[in-house]
Amino acid sequence: MRQGQYTISFNHPPVIHSTGVAGGPFEARGNLVDAFDYLYEDLYIGESSFEKAQKKLLQTSFEIAIEKGGLVKEDIQHIVCGDLLNQITSSSFATLAMDRPYIGVFGACSTSIEALGLAAMFIDGGYADTVLTGTASHNAAVEKQFRYPTEYGGQKPPTAQWTVTGAGSAVLKSQGNGPRVTSVTFGRVVDMGLKDPFNMGGAMAPAAVDTIQRHLADTGRTPADYDLIVTGDLGQIGRATSLDLLRDQGLELMDETYVDCGLLMYSKDQKVQAGGSGCGCSAVGIYGHFINEMNQGRLQRILAVATGALLSPLSYQQKESIPCIAHAVTIERQGVQ
């Protein structure tokens, strides 16, 4: 059922049946260590390159989500996933071993929620009963592609963020127990003319604000209707900017109920500048930490908003600005009115 221009509310909300979350050694020292099902001790994750390591992370999260759900890969009817590397190669190679129908998507760091929303539409529409969704990022692989190889030792400004080495996957089913995806609000591309690839939070903040506003307008809800509004990786700069922009639009969000996965991920002594980022940031935070919180009854309804900067190395080299997007899903415990 369509609500307004941007939001789809599901008549038969799919269940988040199980999740799988994997991470790297730096994340093992962070604040969300309990969100991970598996943590690797080596940044190479036993592979010969960082790009292959990212693929392995995603494969691991797939396997964990399927095993935790008491399923086998043949139970999966569709896989919806993507990542940040060129032509989403990590996702394509990771799904090769699954041997299941694959829909590759790209939304930069918004991919976790874009894929979740699309997977939910498959199930609500009656086109599938069991869908696997996920995404991953790897610090060294992503930094190499979008900025400088880590071996280069380039200095970063305070606005820069730290790409999370992590992957998160979820199995959605048409029936069962667990939190439900009750609606999705797909965002539009927003470009405010920013060109600094070391300030992704500032670039993405207007897109987050746009999607939050449109979701609330479409559904007739207010921020008070949610236990939390969770953003993916705005970091310190983006979160502060989005709060100011929302306030200018007459929406006053409380600090304690407007949280960002990039700010929760790491401890202060890890020195990650403005916070965490990357596809894996929202995937670990939402599929791991916040779904765990819902399963344990501490949260009833959240609005998960993942943001993405839709630049490429080529567009940056050609002096283009950074178009951004944000997608949102409502996740509720069963029985919430």
Q: Which amino acid is at 217?
A: A
End-to-end CA distance of the chain: 17
Give percent of the chain above pLDDT 70: 99
| pLDDT for 174 | 97
| pLDDT for 337 | 61
CB 214 within 8 A of CB 4: yes
The residue-averaged pLDDT of 105-111 equals 96
CB 313 within 8 A of CB 199: no
Distance CA 276, CA 113 (A): 17
| pLDDT for 147 | 75
CB 181 within 8 A of CB 120: yes
| pLDDT for 149 | 74
- pLDDT single digits (tens) 36-57: 999 999 999 999 999 999 999 9
Give percent of the chain above pLDDT 90: 89
- pLDDT single digits (tens) 67-106: 999 999 999 999 999 999 999 999 999 999 999 999 999 9
- pLDDT single digits (tens) 219-261: 999 999 999 999 999 999 999 999 999 999 999 898 899 999 9
Distance CA 72, CA 50 (A): 28
Distances 67 to 35, 58, 61, 174, 189 between C-alpha atoms, Å: 17, 14, 10, 18, 37
290 has a pLDDT exceeding 80: yes
35 has a pLDDT exceeding 70: yes
Distance CA 285, CA 202 (A): 20
- pLDDT single digits (tens) 315-328: 988 999 999 999 99
pTM: predicted TM-score of the whole model, two decimal places:
0.95
DSSP state for residue 325 in the 8-state scheme: E
| pLDDT for 239 | 97
245 alpha carbon, distance to own chain's centre: 22
Q: Which domains does the chain have, with CATH numbers?
A: 2-173 (3.40.47.40), 180-332 (3.40.47.40)
| pLDDT for 334 | 80
Distance CA 62, CA 57 (A): 9
The residue-averaged pLDDT of 211-218 equals 97
Confidence label for 155 from pLDDT (cuts 50, 70 and 90): confident
CB 295 within 8 A of CB 178: yes
| pLDDT for 197 | 87
Average pLDDT over the chain, rounded to an integer: 95
| pLDDT for 167 | 98
